[in-house]
Amino acid sequence: MNQQPYGLQKEEKTYGMLCHLLAFSGLIIPFGNILGPLIIWLLKKDQSQYVDMHGKESLNFQISNAIYGIVSAILMLVIIGFVTAIALLIFWIVFTIIASIRASEGNSYRYPLTIRFFK
């Protein structure tokens, strides 16, 4: 086994990082931003508390972002939604990358402005 500092294995860090990075599959696959992290989380949550934590955090963020996206789409009827949609896209990309980096380093990460559906 490839043991890392703080008791984490390299594989755990990789799966923790994938919980966040697979959200970018939503750019290609409909609902991929939720399905990617969900699949990794369901496969590995019982094997690693670290992956369980990152999977829940990623899912919470992706679901929250989907809700915010729906609100932005509705607000497009009054023009402001176009601005909020662009801001939301930038927010999503930046914080998904930050979370991926933190997970690959073996750290926990909490996304801002996230509704906690899974605790």
Q: pLDDT (tens digit, 9 = 90+) per residue, 33-53?
A: 999 999 999 999 999 999 999
Q: Are the C-beta atoms of 62 and 54 separated by less than 8 Å?
A: no
Tokens of 69: 């996206």
Distance of CA 76 to the CA centre of its chain: 25
What residues does each domain of the chain span? 11-104
SS3 for 69-80, per residue? HHHHHHHHHHCH
Q: How confident is the model at residue 6 (pLDDT cuts 50, 70, 90)?
A: low
Query: Is the pLDDT confidence value at 3 over 70?
Result: no
Q: Which tens digit of pLDDT belongs to each residue from 81-99?
A: 999 999 999 999 999 999 9
* 57, pLDDT greater than 90: yes
How many whole angstroms separate alpha carbon 97 and alpha carbon 100?
Answer: 5
Read off the pTM: 0.88
